[in-house]
Structure 1
Amino acid sequence: MNEPARILVLTHDDDPTADVVLSMLNVRGTPFVRCDPGNFPMAMRMTACLGTGAGSWRGSMTGAFRGIDLGSVRAVYYRRPSEFRVPDGTAKHDRDFVTAQARHGLSGVLAGLAEVTWLNHPGAMADARMKPYQLAVAARCGLRAPETLVTNDPFAVREFAIQVGGRIITKSLATMITVDDDLGSGVLYTAEVAEELWSDPGIAVTAHLFQELVDGVDVRMTVVGDQVFATEIHPTNPDGPIDIRAHHEDVSYVPVSVPSPSEPRRSSCWVGCG
């Protein structure tokens, strides 16, 4: 196969954000192939070879989408692909084996393609999801992080709360979807911790993240190459939940400028962790 250079788009079938990006690629005449890795291995085939002395994999991926020559991939847009699937009724130990093999096989081959630009690389995304690591990197880059505690010691939480002035929040260390028999499923949002819960014995069960409560306006930044785009997010109800995500669509957006590295930092500017 000798195909023109293409963008490989890895996302689930119903992602509206990817739809917008791909519509612009169509307008620009940029060739791409879209597929969902979750369809592998049930509805997708991959064959890849690495020859002696070769620096990259060669082969192809085929499925319901039009196939793609791995050698033609010059960029990968990685946008929330679905989980790998196996046939219904597969025993758990077989299911675990199949999905692990699929993840390491398909993902490993794609990660091993030479001279390919990723947006964003799964490894970098995995690092960014680790909030303690994320905050430490931000601090080393000169950004101000709130006073933060990671612990499973209930007594340490009370001491921390007193130290930072008596108002603290907690947020999940990993992105979590909670499931309740009565309320259904939902995201575990950031919330203020009441004083009577500062020494809750349940804290000892696992690691928890706590931060001092910092009042202000939520600003989200997106970085594309060397360009930084920032937007303030204002809730319709200022007295609602602390976590801006809990307001869903009841928000308004205001673009804001980002100070250059040579400009003095605003004393009220803090970096959080998503």
Structure 2
Amino acid sequence: MSGDQRRAVLVLTNTYDATADTVLRILAERRVPVVRVDPGADLYDGASLTARYGRSSRRGTLRTSSREIDLSNIRSVWMRRPSPYEAPPGITGHDAKFAGAQAFWGTGGVLASLTEAQYVNHPWRVRNAEYKPAQLTAAQLSGFLVPDTVITTDPREAREFCADQPTGAVYKPLWDSRYRDPAGAARQVWVREVGPQDITDAVAACPHLFQAKVPKAFDVRLTVVGERQFAARIDGPELDWRRRQDLLAYEPVAVPASVTAAVTSYLTTLDLVFGAFDFAVTESGEWYFLECNPNGQWAWLPPVLSGPIALALADRLQRGPDA
């Protein structure tokens, strides 16, 4: 193989990421070199990262328990699901906060500054694209149909908005925050229907997102890798289909040309290579944009739908910055 063909794919993810495993098996079959590391955990357990900067050079080395790689010899970086940057075990209090912050800005900064590599997606682009207001703004600019939405800390505004929606309104969290009930049990905050009578003054405690309920016939998860789009129709009984995935039915669905064009515009606006879009589709065929996860899951789909996505990601990572 030539030197360029031997350049490695760097996969940043946790040990238990089954989605990454699917793509890595394909790359292994193609004999593409891969380095898998969880920087938030592995650098405290035998791995190390060094970067040097000078007047005329910039170089670095990543060492794991089995590999050593020159940071300039990475063709692609797949930013999957690495562990959060935290302090190593045994450090507590303010020392832990300091160490965790240094890891975030130091390790995270080095791994986000590999100028000769292609990122899927770049970690800074991922963070920018996770803000719901940024998603809604980009969706409007890109030409998607967007349900009427309000983000507010004003209970009166929230009640008025919900009362004004002829098809009803829903509440959805602005971020999938960890939540525990008073007994300490973990709870998932699902999208749910709300009316003005449900709005209390507790809305003033933090921003809340309320949105017009789309009278949907079905949902669509549209997974995009570069210029390739893979759409799955999702039929299920719940308003939030994630709530009962055991009751869902999936099948491929054609994407309207207007949606395809809007997707391309959206990814360009937010400088993304990958996106997992969610749509609510009405009986009349209108596709309403709900959100786009810049690092969304897809391996839970049936193999006939997830297999092509895995191949597209492997292709993209293998091609590197010339993709």
Question: Residues 87, 10 of structure 1: CA spacing in aligned structure 2 closer, same or farther, 3 A cutoff?
Answer: closer
Cα deviations across residues 29-71 of structure 1 (Å, max 9, x unaligned)?
11111111112541221111122144xx412111324222111
Matches within 5 A, 1:1-274: 4-43=6-45, 44-54=47-57, 57-165=58-166, 167-180=168-181, 182=183, 184-198=185-199, 200-216=200-216, 217-235=218-236, 238=237, 241-261=238-258, 268-273=286-291
Q: How many residues align?
A: 266
* TM-score, normalised relative to structure 1: 0.90
Encode CA deviations 1:200-227: one digit per residue, 9 max, x unaligned: 0100111010001112111111111111
8 A contact 1:12–1:81 mirrored in 2: yes
Letter of the 1:140 counterpart: L
Contact 2:112/2:124 (<8 A) preserved: no
By how many angstroms is 1:256 displaced? 0.7
Q: Is this contact kept in 2: 1:33–1:65, CA < 8 A? A: no
Seen in structure 2, the aligned counterparts of structure 1 residues 76 and 264 have a Cα distance that, compared at 3 Å, is closer
**Conservation of the 8 A alpha-carbon contact between 2:150 and 2:161:** yes
Deviation at residue 89 of structure 1 after TM alignment: 4.0
Q: For structure 2, which runs of at least 5 residues remain unmatched after alignment?
A: 263-283, 293-323
Measured in 2, the distance between the counterparts of 1:263 and 1:272 equals 15
Deviations 1:108-141 (A, max 9, x none): 1121111211111111111221011101101100
Contact 1:127–1:134, Cα closer than 8 Å, also in 2: no
Matched-pair contact (CA < 8 Å) for 1:41–1:102: no
Contact map agreement 1:152 1:208 (CA 8 A) in 2: yes
Amino acid at match of 2:244: H
The amino acid across from 2:123 in the alignment is P
RMSD, matched Cα: 2.3
